[in-house]
Structure 1
Amino acid sequence: MPGKQGTTADTDVLVVGAGPAGLTTALQALAHGATVRVVDRRDHRVRPSRALMLHARALEGLRPLGVTAGLLERADTAPEARIHLGRWEVEARLGHADLPDTAFPHLTLVRQADVEEVLWQALQDSGVVVDWGVEFRGLHQDNGGLQALSSGLVRAELQGAHGPGHHVSRFLAGCDGQSSTVRGITGAQWRGGPYPVEAVLADLELDGGLDPGLLHVAVGQAGLAFLFALGEGATWRMLATRPASWQAGARFGQLGPPVAPEEVAQLVKDSGLEASVREVGWSAQVPLQHRIASTFGSSPVFLAGDAAHAHSPAGGQGMNNGILDALNLGWKLGFASTAGRPLPELLQTYGQERLPAARRVLALTHLIFFGEASPHPAARLARSILPAFAPVMPLLLRRRWLIARGVRLLAQPFVNYRNSAISHEGTPKARGWPRPGKRLPDAPAAVDGRSVRLHELTAVPGLHLLLERDAGPVALDAIPAVASMDSQPRLLHVHRLTSHPGTGVAGIRPDGYVGFRCGEADPVQLRDWLRLVGAVRD
């Protein structure tokens, strides 16, 4: 196993866990100048998918990493659902919502396994090999406490097929799931609790008249059942809920023991769908919980994805939220690895930004899951009377604005970083851009007379400065940018928008949020912000 004695880092970043959050963290850090290693205790990367959906914000953030085309090739971007309400069936078209400010105005159905495959392949193409079968055991300890090496590095103790080893790095990203070993060594409290219901996942062959081109949703008093034609061991993937049967020591969020075929068949029967189970290719019970870590870490150890927060499957937020963690953390680790100086204020913003965001998402999923699956009498009553509204639902679902609002809500428009230490409002204020800390929308623009979209301009890694038409020039040669050596790509890009009159400038972060805006392209204020985020060498 790799590892060198002494105080020289083997890599800048060690990522523990090769799920979507871990792979995205590695790709984002790598794209922004860091050297990375990824380890995962699984013997191989193939496993059944638990998540089946990507939302627009995650796709927007992944676009600069060059992986969205591969993801969309494997996805259904125009899904249609059939909602079964007793004897009523209601059609809902969930693709191509009326959302003009994003390149991904749709729900995207894609298996977690396919997401991991695309991200893993992108790492492979960049020369980073995931080390499977290597387990993180802890950090170097001395006198009963965690100790950094004399140089400020950390040493991870690892266990692989060939015995124990270690890895020295500047930073460690714990993306190792809800039972995270990394979270355990940070001392973070795991706040929340278990749900009284569990999920049942199964891949099935069905007899009956279910159209495989649709997502089928069955609403019953006991909860909702979903059937996707996205199975990996059979045609259909079922997600249903039932009263929890987990035992003490259950691994929440992980695939548990198989469910008896007759129990799976009963869940399909109880859903009211006109189908019967012919074959169960695979099944598992999944204990569910709602929890969040009290801290997402501090330098040099951080948490992301399921290691930092645990969701119900409602709204398909778990994988998306982990990817958004990773996109936020990865560029900061990259810049901190290459800036040539400590960047404590930048690294502190990871928790400042993502912990409140995760709390909001957890509240959303908790509310949705209450309506979908809670055994509470109020929730059961609401589900029981829902069929009474079936005759008017087609009229509502034909209104494109209603579908658009639902798709937008799942893309987390309520998440912003306005209170972040790296969200700066210059003087004078710029009026034509979102406030610092808010997402940059994908609006039309022109550069040198060429029509573009803003997200086309920002679809490469790094920071992007958007100059209004009459702004003064920015002398990049006078700004020693991070990773601007000949051997690495420049990570500071300037675009003059001839379509935007004015003298101002907006600074766009690598994860797609506005970090700085000013009504004048003042080089002093601009340099101060660039230095704060690590894009200026001293």
Structure 2
Amino acid sequence: MAGGQGTTADTDVLVVGAGPAGLTTALQAHAHGATVRVVDRRGQRIRPSRAMMLHARALEGLRPLGVTDELLDRADTTPQARIHLGPRVVEARLGHAILPDTAFPHLTLVRQADVEDVLWQELQAKGVPVDWGVEFRGLGTEASGSPGLHGGLVHAELHASSSGHGLHVSRFLVGCDGQASTVRGFTGAQWRGGPYRVETVLADVELDGTLDPGLLHVAVGGTGLAFLFALGEGATWRMLATRPAVPHPGARFGQLGPSVPPEEVARLLTEAGLDAAVREVRWSAQVPLQHRVASTFGSDPVFLAGDAAHAHSPAGGQGMNNGVLDALNLGWKLGFASTAGRRLPELLESYGQERRPAARQVLALTHVIFFGEASPHPAARLARNVLPAVAPVLPLLLRRQWLTSKGIRLLAQPFVRYRDSAISRDCPPRAGKWPRPGERLPDAPVAVDGRAARLHELTAAPGIHLLLERDAGTGAVGAGPALANQGPLLHVHRLTSHPGRGVVAVRPDGYVGFRSSGEDPAGLRDWLRLVGAVRD
């Protein structure tokens, strides 16, 4: 374990927690120039999955990091569902959405364990250390007596199961250590929200019965929902069911709690009305649920991401995705701030400005979905009980691809925008045919020097991407070719398919940061300097 002697940082970034948010933060920060270390108090890497789904926006953001193909190889990208409404069964195809603005127009079923494994392997290939059995205990002091935050550096007190106490000195500390985050206590954040009256039960089971294999089965009943995924880790099926919360001493919100008696697992499946019986329970856990958002996502030099910053129900499969999107937003900013050679306060403050409102929006979405899925409220129970009566019209609705597409698009969080961010710059004259700064860049066909391509193909590399319209002069980006040679994290693409003299700058997380319909080299260079993409 590194000791924090003197004022030299051991790494630019220390990430606490090796879940999807922590591993993605590490990859994104490293890809944008930072040295990184990840620590996790777990003694072993492999653990049961809680999440089972990635959405298009997360996959788009992960694509430049080189992990998307491997994730898709491990995923089911053409899922089919059987929705069980009492005696009626409705089929839903979820892998054929009409979404021309993304390379991932489908639901993607993939285990959290596989996501973590792919991210971990990529970090290993990049030489980024991920240390297990190392717990963050707080902000310690050096032997000289300097405090935990000193000279712009963070002195983190760590305890390794193998080597005992030590200090790690870093420029930034990121808490991705879950809903019971230790790091959160050092940000001054309040943990606002409350518990749900409903919890989930997870179980890996073998079944007897007539359920079609390899499909997603959803059972809707008055007492709640039950899901059966053909993605079990210790058995053929993974079951997720809801029930009234059962208090248990020591249970932690959002974490895998005590095992559930096999007869209780069998009861939940029977009450769901599925034509199956539990033959064997290989593994199970109860998971208490809460809805909370931290009052701050941190500030230089300590930040929060993932479950340490927000907690919500599993409705809509948003948890893992929201953590990954936090990480993609924060990681590049930490990378640029680590290498800029100067402070970048607007860039670092923009993380909380952008992601905390997004977390509140996602919490509202999951709150509404979860109310309908599992709430014991009489109105929600009545709605679920009425569903079997409308089952005959559901196949007609589900055959309409536009309806499925709208649902898949909604889960990909199209409502998340950063228009009011300090790093979103719209310079006159505005390029109205491009998204506003702070909005996601949609995928679309383009031509680059006469070669057919797609926008997300062009931007599938770490760094800032400058899109020049066809008639933009060589001075449109300031120093022209010299600016393009600032380093491997600044890319220039001339779109011969787009007439005009405008310039658009796309951030590393896929959002537009700057646009102008005319040549504004000074404005562009000011923006690039604002985010640390160019040297003084």
Which residue of structure 2 lines up, in the alignment, with residue 487 of structure 1? none
Which residue of structure 2 lines up, in the alignment, with residue 192 of structure 1? 193
Contact 2:427–2:523 (8 Å) recurs in 1: yes
- Structure 1 segments of 4 or more deviating over 4 A? 145-150
* Cα distance change of structure 1 residues 452 and 25 upon mapping to structure 2, 3 Å threshold: same
Cα distance between partner residues in 1 of 2:150 and 2:379:
58
User: Match of 1:460, SS?
Assistant: coil
Please give the per-residue CA displacement for 1:323-351, whole angstroms capped at 9, x wherever unaligned: 00000000000000000100011000000
Aligned-pair distance for 1:478? 4.3
Q: Is 1:220–2:218 an aligned residue pair? A: no
Cα distance between partner residues in 2 of 1:44 and 1:520:
55
Aligned-pair distance for 1:6? 0.8
Aligned-pair distance for 1:479? 3.7
Please give the per-residue CA displacement for 1:341-365, whole angstroms capped at 9, x wherever unaligned: 0001100000000000000000000
Question: Could you state the TM-score of these two structures normalised by the residue count of structure 2?
Answer: 0.97
Which residue of structure 2 lines up, in the alignment, with residue 247 of structure 1? 248
Alignment of 1:309-328 (within 5 A): 309-328=310-329
Contact 1:221–1:383 (8 Å) recurs in 2: yes
Which residue of structure 2 lines up, in the alignment, with residue 492 of structure 1? 490
Contact 1:171–1:333 (8 Å) recurs in 2: yes
Aligned residues: 530
Contact 1:480–1:537 (8 Å) recurs in 2: no
Which residue of structure 2 lines up, in the alignment, with residue 257 of structure 1? 258
Which residue of structure 2 lines up, in the alignment, with residue 238 of structure 1? 239
Cα distance between partner residues in 2 of 1:332 and 1:271:
46
Cα distance between partner residues in 1 of 2:266 and 2:146:
50
The AA in structure 2 aligned to 1:7 is: T
Cα distance between partner residues in 2 of 1:422 and 1:329:
13
Q: Is 1:503–2:504 an aligned residue pair? A: no
Which residue of structure 1 lines up, in the alignment, with residue 61 of structure 2? 61
Which residue of structure 1 lines up, in the alignment, with residue 2 of structure 2? 2
Please give the per-residue CA displacement for 1:306-338, whole angstroms capped at 9, x wherever unaligned: 000001000000000000000000000000000
Which residue of structure 2 lines up, in the alignment, with residue 38 of structure 1? 38
Q: Is 1:512–2:510 an aligned residue pair? A: yes
Which residue of structure 2 lines up, in the alignment, with residue 96 of structure 1? 96
Q: Is 1:176–2:177 an aligned residue pair? A: yes
Which residue of structure 2 lines up, in the alignment, with residue 346 of structure 1? 347
Cα distance between partner residues in 2 of 1:146 and 1:427:
49
Aligned-pair distance for 1:141? 5.9
Contact 1:199–1:285 (8 Å) recurs in 2: yes
* Cα distance change of structure 1 residues 146 and 371 upon mapping to structure 2, 3 Å threshold: farther
Cα distance between partner residues in 1 of 2:28 and 2:480:
23
Contact 2:96–2:401 (8 Å) recurs in 1: no
Which residue of structure 2 lines up, in the alignment, with residue 108 of structure 1? 108
Alignment of 1:43-442 (within 5 A): 43-140=43-140, 147=147, 149-161=149-161, 162-247=163-248, 249-442=250-443
User: Match of 2:96, SS?
Assistant: coil
The AA in structure 2 aligned to 1:504 is: G
Aligned-pair distance for 1:247? 3.0
Which residue of structure 1 lines up, in the alignment, with residue 520 of structure 2? 522
Please give the per-residue CA displacement for 1:403-442, whole angstroms capped at 9, x wherever unaligned: 0000000000000000001000011111220011000000
Q: What is the RMSD computed on CA atoms of the aligned residues?
A: 1.4
Cα distance between partner residues in 2 of 1:76 and 1:243:
31
Q: Is 1:452–2:453 an aligned residue pair? A: yes
Please give the per-residue CA displacement for 1:212-266, whole angstroms capped at 9, x wherever unaligned: 2210000000000000010001000000000101235420000000000010011
Contact 1:139–1:146 (8 Å) recurs in 2: no
Please give the per-residue CA displacement for 1:451-493, whole angstroms capped at 9, x wherever unaligned: 10000000000000000000011335544977x3xxxxx1000
Contact 2:484–2:492 (8 Å) recurs in 1: no
Aligned-pair distance for 1:3? 2.4
Contact 2:16–2:177 (8 Å) recurs in 1: yes
Contact 2:139–2:149 (8 Å) recurs in 1: no
Please give the per-residue CA displacement for 1:257-309, whole angstroms capped at 9, x wherever unaligned: 00000100111111100000000000000000001100000000000000000
User: Match of 2:197, SS?
Assistant: strand
Unaligned 5+ residue runs, structure 2? Answer: none
Contact 2:333–2:347 (8 Å) recurs in 1: yes
Contact 1:480–1:536 (8 Å) recurs in 2: no
The AA in structure 1 aligned to 2:185 is: G
User: Match of 1:516, SS?
Assistant: strand
Contact 1:7–1:149 (8 Å) recurs in 2: no
Cα distance between partner residues in 1 of 2:186 and 2:448:
50
Unaligned 5+ residue runs, structure 1? Answer: 485-489
Aligned-pair distance for 1:151? 2.5
Cα distance between partner residues in 1 of 2:146 and 2:223:
47
Contact 1:481–1:535 (8 Å) recurs in 2: no
User: Match of 1:501, SS?
Assistant: coil
Contact 2:464–2:507 (8 Å) recurs in 1: yes
Cα distance between partner residues in 2 of 1:3 and 1:53:
39
The AA in structure 1 aligned to 2:375 is: S
Contact 1:289–1:310 (8 Å) recurs in 2: yes
- Point out the more displaced range, 466-475 or 360-369: 466-475
- Point out the more displaced range, 167-176 or 422-431: 422-431
Which residue of structure 1 lines up, in the alignment, with residue 27 of structure 2? 27
Question: Could you state the TM-score of these two structures normalised by the residue count of structure 1?
Answer: 0.97
Please give the per-residue CA displacement for 1:490-536, whole angstroms capped at 9, x wherever unaligned: 10000000000000010000000000000113211110010111112
Cα distance between partner residues in 2 of 1:314 and 1:441:
26
The AA in structure 2 aligned to 1:176 is: D
